[in-house]
Chains A and B, each alone.
Chain A
């Protein structure tokens, strides 16, 4: 189930609420970077475990929800689910009033204030956290 290697893109840190702090995962493992940097650069391996500032998230669309062109993201551990929702909505050019739901393990929707780092610790596998997103409630 390997993903197509994604091109390395640099996303400017957005001023919009929750919009910043996501960077695309480069084909090589990312270097440890200062918190303010938005760039992902190829190079030495990031230290594993708690010292890693960003975690890898794989976004999967559910139903007729538009598919993200870029599915793999390196996200700050302290990013909240709400921040991620806002980012995806902007990326998909959804209207602010449109709802977006995010699910873990295709079974529960974490609270909007929950941090992705904690979810990764508990529900991540193979070095990433898989999240399903949907415009309507998929798993209740």
Chain B
């Protein structure tokens, strides 16, 4: 399974170049230079931007600083969404670097959750892992782990340690020999074409007749509007990142709908986290489906 391991690494080490600029109305003692940073797709904004915060706080007075928050073209960025997901939803068709505006006041209470400490990020991350395992294994695998194993998952993410993370995560990707896969597929579908947050439903990896479900089966069942009708000129396709040589613009390869969903999740999703799909409406009448394994590899155009 060497290929699979390569994909796992590619997803883990995926990066987005970003340029952070201080919001023009923030009060500064002197001009603030923009700050450039490569953001890990699989992580969270508030976990990886300590240097950004320090950089801008250097030119500000203490009394003008409250909780940091980020915004892209007027949209507050939800720190609890993985960076890769935020980028693909909001900025994937724009030129790089991803231009993010930094704020230190007027926190948008209605749009964002507060992030007073790293503990909050850890709690959120662990809850995601637990929710995914609730679907995959009725929580049995994650609940049987010791506290130190949970800690290792978090430390692996926080310190960008692939091996450390996967030493534990691989257990969350296993399933009993007598089964054909997880109990339910952990997935979320994010659509750029709607205000609705996401679609998340129960979906088994195997059909009643024992056939493995495919990606197409999933989409037809839970997001039929994303599937182009038979014979239609409209194309709906799913593509995924495969080229590990590309630093910023990973090319795509198309996943056929006949792709076995469970294998795909094991290979591309890496984490036992939820996978995310969403649909981008670009030039009509085409609609593109973008698969984003949570905090993972992504499919984009």
A interface residues with partner B (beta carbon < 8 Å): 104-105, 107-115, 118, 121-123, 137, 140
Contacts and interface: CB of A to CB of B under 8 A. Distances in A.
B201 A107 contact: no
B134 A121 contact: no
B143 A107 contact: yes
B273 to A, nearest CB: 12
A113 B111 CA distance: 9
Contacts of A107: 130, 134, 139, 142-143
A77 to B, nearest CB: 11
B130 A121 contact: no
Contacts of B131: 104, 108, 110
B200 A121 contact: yes
B135 interface: yes
Contacts of B93: none
B110 to A, nearest CB: 9
Interface in B135-150: 135, 139, 142-143, 147, 150
Given A122-B201, A140-B126, A140-B147, 6 more contacts: A108-B139, A110-B131, A111-B124, A113-B113, A121-B201, A122-B200
Contacts of A114: 197
Contacts of B167: none
B124 A104 contact: no
Q: Binding site of B, secondary structure by majority: helix, strand, loop or mixed?
A: helix
Interface of B: 78, 80, 113, 123-124, 126-127, 130-131, 134-135, 139, 142-143, 147, 150, 184, 197-198, 200-202
Contact of A121 (B113, B143, B150, B202): B202
Q: Binding site of A, secondary structure by majority: helix, strand, loop or mixed?
A: loop
A112 B123 CA distance: 12
Nearest to B147: A140
Contact of B134 (A112, A113, A123): A123
Nearest to B80: A111
B130 A108 contact: yes
B134 A105 contact: yes
A9 to B, nearest CB: 30
Contacts of B127: 108-111
A102 B213 CA distance: 33
Contacts of B80: 111, 113
18 contacts: A104-B131, A107-B130, A107-B139, A107-B142, A108-B131, A108-B139, A111-B124, A111-B127, A114-B197, A115-B197, A121-B201, A122-B135, A122-B200, A123-B134, A137-B123, A140-B126, A140-B147, A140-B150
Contacts of B135: 122
A121 B123 CA distance: 23
Nearest to B134: A105
Nearest to A101: B123
Nearest to B139: A107
A112 B112 CA distance: 10
A15 to B, nearest CB: 16
A113 B197 contact: yes
A105 B197 contact: no
B48 to A, nearest CB: 19
Contact of A111 (B113, B139, B201): B113
A111 B198 CA distance: 13
Contacts of A121: 200-202
Contact of B200 (A109, A112, A118, A137): A118
